Chains A and B, each alone.
Chain A
Amino acid sequence: MAKIKPRVKVPKKAEAGEVITIKALISHPMESGRRKDKKTGKLIPRKIINRFTCDFVGASQSGNVIDVQLEPAISTNPYFQFEAKVPESGEFRFKWVEDGGAVYELAKKIAVG
């Protein structure tokens, strides 16, 4: 299986209160549970990323940006693009939760000023 690797794109700098665009992608097969193994004819068990969250953590202000619930109808290598407000310097924390409870995390710092 291909390695599961999260990637995000966040600007390094922003003005206070600015709205920035964030792109997040994780390489993941998103096995829908409906595909059959060609050799054995058996169903391949479902294994998808079922939740994706992005939170901002700063010195005085923290908060959730987006919380997505994913179903098997999301494509392989789930990709999201969304906007976030930057109240101050801090970091954006990203979290992907896989079926079975495995968690993949990534954080990106952003500087205000």
Chain B
Amino acid sequence: MLKKYKFKFNTITLFLVLLLILFTFIALNMGSVNIKISSLFEEGTMESFILRKIRIPRIMGSIFVGAILSVAGVVFQTIFKNDLADSYLLGISSGATFSISLASLLGFSLQNLLALPLAAFSGSLFAAFVILLISRRNQDNLILFGISLNFLLSSLTNLFVYLNKGQRDKIIFWSMGSFSSMTTEKMLLVGVFFIITTLLIYKRNKELDILLLDEQSALSLGVNVKKEKLILLILSSLSTALAVCFCGVIGFVGLMAPHLVRTVNGPNNKQLLILAPLTGGLLMLISDTFSRTILPAGELPVGIITSFFGATLFISIAYRRKRNG
């Protein structure tokens, strides 16, 4: 109906889905061991074990985490009216790492599927509320506050990690962001969480559009601004926390994916909430495939790759914004 952008929403969706399928097959093929995809259907062989228990959980896990972080990015950018907002830059991911490193110091295993997510939830919610309170007073310097909160929580995290002699190396590698410890259970948990939170957020796509207006207009249109912001913030902080819990801090994906989609398809949240997770999942899958194949032995934490590209984009957005006034 509206000819605002070059490509149609349906075309972009189809294109992204096809790319995702294509890269999933490529990623299944790639790795330290050369495996044919047909081995998936063999029984009891080493190849089918690697595909089923290692590569598929990891591939699906990385897609889900990329998607979760992108949906969270869309929400943060909307409710804080700042296109640089991202779970990492707002300190919400660091809230989760902070409480996880504390839990680990207190003796909980990083593989614990109950205590660790709960710890991550509480940490990220704490950080999210701090940011929400700050945003009510001072919207302009929000990212600066977020990065400061990030530093503050990171310094405490580092203290806990330093004291935690037994688990130190494991936690350091985890906190840099990696899918190497992905399992089928974790992948399913992240997947279910992604679907539930994204559906609940998607139901609020009209509210999200209206929240982009000034607060008084949003109120006069009938949106209960405080309540909606709170619900949206809790949903996206919880899903971010689960992603951090299993894969550490993977920054900037929540910044990159929504930004790319807005550039191509505009800010309409109904469409953004479908395209951003597809893009984020794709970006994360590609990044992770790189991270596990680029070094001849061992692997690179994927957070390094996403941060490198994401920070470059961050600088370019911030630079252009300054020029526009």
Asked if A pairs with B, the answer is no
